[in-house]
C-alpha cells in the first residue's frame, strides 16, 4: 500500500526498520520489492490514463515488471513471516505534510519540464526525467503525459524519459537501502530488481 503512494519513502522506512530490528531485514526486503512492484503498476495505470498515445508498449512493460516484482516480493515476505519475527513499533504512515510536499514537487517538475523542453528540446525532457526520478516517478509521468497530449514531446522521447526516471528511481532506492542499513538489505533486493528489469526488457523487445 505504501508503494501505491511513494515506493521511495516506503523503501526508506523499511530500511530504517531493518536497521533498528535486524531480524526484520528479510521481510523488509520483501516489502521493498512489493513497494517497487506497486510503483510499476502505478506507472502502467498512469500511462494508460494520461498518455494513451504512447501505445501499449510502455503499459505492458511496466505491468510485466510489476507482476514479476509482486511474485518475488510476496514469496520472500511469506518465507520471512513463516520464520517468526519480533514486535516492531510502527508510527502513523498517513501525514498531510507528505501530500503537500508531493503537490509542490509535482508543480516543480511540470514547470521544470516545460522550461527545459522549451530551452533544450528532447534533452531537457530527459534531464528532467532523470532528476525527478531521484525522488518520485509519478510527477514526471503526469508531466510527460501532459506534454504528449499537447504535442510538445514525441512519443518515443516520452517513453525513453519514463524508463530513465524509473531506472534512476531504482538506483536511488538501492542507495537509500545501503546508506540506511548497509549492503545487507540492498543485496537481498537486488536480484528481484534485476529480474524485474529483465522482464521489462523482454516485453519491451516483443511489443512494438
Per residue in 112-159, pLDDT tens? 766 766 777 778 778 888 887 877 788 788 888 888 888 878 888 888
Q: What is the mean pLDDT of residues 185-189?
A: 91
Average pLDDT, rounded, for the chain: 82
Q: How far apart are CA 34 and CA 28, in angstroms?
A: 10
Res 114: pLDDT: 65
Q: How far apart are CA 115 and CA 6, in angstroms?
A: 26
Only one residue has cell 519514463, namely: 162
Residue 28, all three cell numbers: 523488509
- Asked if residue 68 has pLDDT above 80, the reply is yes
pTM, two decimals, is 0.80
Amino acid at each position: 500500500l505504501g508503494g501505491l503512494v511513494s515506493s521511495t519513502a516506503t523503501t526508506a522506512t523499511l530500511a530504517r526498520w531493518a536497521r533498528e530490528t535486524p531480524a526484520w531485514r528479510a521481510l523488509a526486503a520483501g516489502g521493498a520489492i512489493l513497494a517497487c512492484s506497486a510503483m510499476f503498476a502505478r506507472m502502467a495505470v498512469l500511462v494508460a490514463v494520461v498518455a494513451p498515445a504512447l501505445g501499449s508498449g510502455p503499459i505492458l512493460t511496466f505491468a510485466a515488471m510489476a507482476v514479476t516484482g509482486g511474485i518475488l516480493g510476496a514469496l520472500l515476505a511469506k518465507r520471512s513471516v513463516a520464520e517468526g519475527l519480533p514486535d516492531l513499533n510502527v508510527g502513523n504512515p498517513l501525514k498531510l505534510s507528505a501530500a503537500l510536499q508531493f503537490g509542490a514537487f509535482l508543480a516543480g517538475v511540470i514547470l521544470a519540464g516545460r522550461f527545459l523542453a522549451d530551452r533544450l528540446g528532447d534533452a531537457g525532457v530527459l534531464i528532467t526525467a532523470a532528476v525527478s526520478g531521484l525522488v518520485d516517478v509519478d510527477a514526471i509521468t503526469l508531466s510527460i503525459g501532459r506534454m504528449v497530449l499537447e504535442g510538445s514531446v514525441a512519443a518515443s522521447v516520452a517513453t525513453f524519459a519514463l524508463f530513465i526516471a524509473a531506472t534512476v528511481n531504482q538506483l536511488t532506492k538501492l542507495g537509500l537501502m545501503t546508506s540506511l542499513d548497509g549492503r545487507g538489505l540492498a543485496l537481498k533486493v537486488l536480484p528481484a530488481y534485476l529480474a524485474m528489469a529483465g522482464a521489462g526488457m523482454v516485453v519491451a523487445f516483443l511489443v512494438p
